């Protein structure tokens, strides 16, 4: 079993457990927030499942990698919906100037990745990651500037998790562009494990954000 296969199987197992827990909590509490997190996990799990099966059975990166990417990138939509659901009306209207660095960053990274991949896919990813970065940074700026209530401050952990998730994903994608180098490959696997850790942290972060 290769290192990549093992890491993907670990992430697959973690995502499955988190998905079941989140959806169970959603039904138990009749919570829209937990349902959105559960759906995020479900789609991320589907992407991981196809990728892991191809590695396990054929030992190579899937030829039809779009199957996994559809699952992963679709999961970002539910994560974005979760952030929209959590944000207060005042927070949604908060517009610090630093936020405009987000579209500049995502556009620049998309242009860079287009040298290695599909134009359409990278454009879609830039838009989705732009939404996540915008909402997570806005939330951190809003709650960290003394605005809002204690309930607003309780959301900081979920915003930090989403921001960390986005940053690690970008690091992993960048490393994948130079996978021919052994030391870069090790970095790629380290970033993949870091993503798995953040997936676990979402559970406690959301629990604090919506605690009753």
**Cβ distance 142 to 159 under 8 Å?**
no
Domain that holds residue 157: 3-209
Provide, rounded to the nearest whole percent, the portion of the chain with pLDDT above 90: 62
pLDDT per residue as tens digits for the range 98-109 = 899 999 999 999
pLDDT of residue 60: 64
Burial class (CB in 10 A: 0-12, 13-18, 19+), 11: buried
Tally of structural domains, the chain: 1
pLDDT of residue 186: 85
Q: What is the CATH number of the domain that holds 61?
A: 1.20.1070
**Cβ distance 165 to 135 under 8 Å?**
no
How confident is residue 3, by pLDDT bands cut at 50, 70 and 90? confident
Residue-by-residue DSSP string for 3-26: HHHHHHHHHHHHHHHHHHHHHHHH
**Cβ distance 34 to 5 under 8 Å?**
no
pLDDT (mean) for 51-55: 78
Residue with tokens 């401050």: 153
Burial class (CB in 10 A: 0-12, 13-18, 19+), 203: middle
pTM of the entire predicted model: 0.91
Tally of residues, the chain: 212
Instruction: Measure the CA–CA gap between 138 and 187, rounded to whole angstroms.
Output: 29
pLDDT (mean) for 140-166: 85
pLDDT of residue 65: 64
Contacts of 8 (CB under 8 A, 6+ apart): 48, 51, 52, 55, 192
The two counts, helices (H) then strands (E), for the chain are 9, 0
pLDDT per residue as tens digits for the range 55-94 = 776 666 655 566 788 899 999 999 999 999 999 888 898 9
Q: How far is CA 177 from CA 106, 170, 172, in A?
A: 17, 11, 9
Higher pLDDT, 179 or 78: 78
pLDDT (mean) for 22-28: 97
Q: Beta-carbon neighbour count of residue 100 at 10 Å?
A: 11
Alpha helices by DSSP H, listed for 145-181, are 150-153, 156-176
Tell whether the model's pLDDT for residue 135 goes beyond 60: yes
pLDDT of residue 5: 79
Instruction: Measure the CA–CA gap between 139 and 95, rounded to whole angstroms.
Output: 10
């Amino acid at each position: 079993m290769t290192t990549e296969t093992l890491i993907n199987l670990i992430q697959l197992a973690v995502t499955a457990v988190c998905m079941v827990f989140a959806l169970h909590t959603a039904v138990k509490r009749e919570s829209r927030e937990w349902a959105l997190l559960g759906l995020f996990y479900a789609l991320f799990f589907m992407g991981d499942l196809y990728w892991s099966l191809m590695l396990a059975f054929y030992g190579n990166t899937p030829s039809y990698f779009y199957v996994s990417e559809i699952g992963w990138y679709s999961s970002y939509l539910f994560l974005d919906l979760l952030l929209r659901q959590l944000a207060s009306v005042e927070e949604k209207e908060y517009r610090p100037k630093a936020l405009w660095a987000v579209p500049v960053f995502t556009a620049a990274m998309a242009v860079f990745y287009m040298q290695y991949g599909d134009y359409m896919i990278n454009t879609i990813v830039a838009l989705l990651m732009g939404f996540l970065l915008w909402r997570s940074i806005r939330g951190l700026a809003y709650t960290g500037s003394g605005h809002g209530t204690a309930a607003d401050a309780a959301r900081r952990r979920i915003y930090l998790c989403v921001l960390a998730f986005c940053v690690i994903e970008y690091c992993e994608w960048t490393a994948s562009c130079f996978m021919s180098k052994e030391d870069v490959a090790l970095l790629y696997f380290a970033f993949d494990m870091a993503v798995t850790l953040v997936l676990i942290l979402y559970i406690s972060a959301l629990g604090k954000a919506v605690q009753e």
